[in-house]
Structures are given as structure tokens and as C-alpha cells.
């Protein structure tokens, strides 16, 4: 099974949607909350080049945010990527 990491904040509705999609598909993931952690947010920005959340990584590859995650689902690629 693939390693999925999602960076989120507590008040982000897109983060809620992205995590719900993963849960509905029974895809386990590590949720890293950067709400009140400036060091973690800085590390995230350095890793992806973006400060927005959610940010989804599958096997250490940056997939994008909520829209991109749902796009992967629509195209059938999410299942392929997470079962690798």
C-alpha cells in the first residue's frame, strides 16, 4: 500500500473534503496539521513550493490539493497510485 500524507489545517473545508474522500475509499493516510506550527508550515512550503492546504503526497510525490485529488479519483488514477 502506498504511503499517503496530507498536510491540513483545522478550519479548511477543502482539507475536510480531501480527508473524507480518502476515508471513504479506505485509504490510510498521515494527517499533518500545520495550523499552529510555523516550522511545519515552513517545511511544507520548502517541500512543495506552496503554502496552501491541503497538500497531498503519495509515496513522497506531490499530487496537489483537493481539486487534484478529486481529479485523480475521477480519472481512476487514485486507486492505481494508492495500491502501488
Tell me the pLDDT tens digit for each residue of 23-58. 999 999 999 999 999 999 999 999 999 989 999 999
CA distance 27 to 12: 20
Q: Considering the entire predicted model, what is its pTM?
A: 0.93
Task: Go through the domains of the chain in sequence order and give each one's CATH number.
Answer: 4-83 (3.40.30.10)
Q: Longest C-alpha distance within the chain, in Å?
A: 35
Identify which of 20, 17, 8 has the alpha carbon closest to the alpha carbon of residue 44: 8
Burial zone of 30 (CB within 10 Å; 0-12 exposed, 13-18 middle, 19+ buried):
exposed
Amino acid at each position: 500500500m502506498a504511503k499517503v500524507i496530507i498536510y491540513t489545517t483545522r478550519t479548511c473545508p477543502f482539507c475536510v473534503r480531501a480527508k473524507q474522500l480518502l476515508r471513504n475509499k479506505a485509504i490510510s493516510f498521515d494527517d499533518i496539521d500545520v495550523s499552529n506550527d510555523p516550522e511545519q508550515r515552513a517545511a511544507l512550503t520548502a517541500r512543495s513550493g506552496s503554502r496552501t492546504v491541503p497538500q497531498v503526497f503519495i509515496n513522497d510525490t506531490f499530487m496537489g490539493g483537493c481539486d487534484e485529488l478529486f481529479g485523480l479519483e475521477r480519472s481512476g488514477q487514485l486507486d492505481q497510485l494508492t495500491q502501488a
